[in-house]
Amino acid sequence: MFVAALIIAGLVAAVLFFRLLERAFFKRMDDAVIGTGSKKPQTAAAAMEIRMQEAPLTMLLPLVLSGAALFGLGIYTSEVVQYLIHWSMPAGI
């Protein structure tokens, strides 16, 4: 019973995850922009005029620093775990 629940939960998570990826990366730009809640409806031609711009540095910097920290943590996992164990365990154990 537990295995069946685990398989069903995994399949549901996979479907939801891939639907998110489909909408984020494979949906046409005009489909995503039309009906954005603005007061005047946008046409497909107006949606095609929207240009993608690079995010400002204040948004990129935390992302890059988090990525670098995770990369470093992945490389030095053993040292970090040994330090945490040594710090948290008494000396006699």
- Indicate if the pLDDT at residue 7 is higher than 80: yes
Q: Is the pTM of this model over 0.95?
A: no
Q: Which residue has the higher pLDDT, 5 or 37?
A: 5
Q: What is the pLDDT of residues 18-74, one digit of tens each?
A: 988 887 777 665 555 555 555 555 566 665 565 667 788 899 999 999 999 999 999
Cα separation, 83 vs 31, whole angstroms: 51
The 8 Å CB, 24+ separation contacts for 47-50 are none
Could you tell me if 39 and 21 are in contact, meaning their C-beta atoms sit under 8 angstroms apart? no
The count of other CB atoms within 10 Å of the CB of residue 34 is: 15
For the chain, what are the domain ranges? 1-52, 54-93
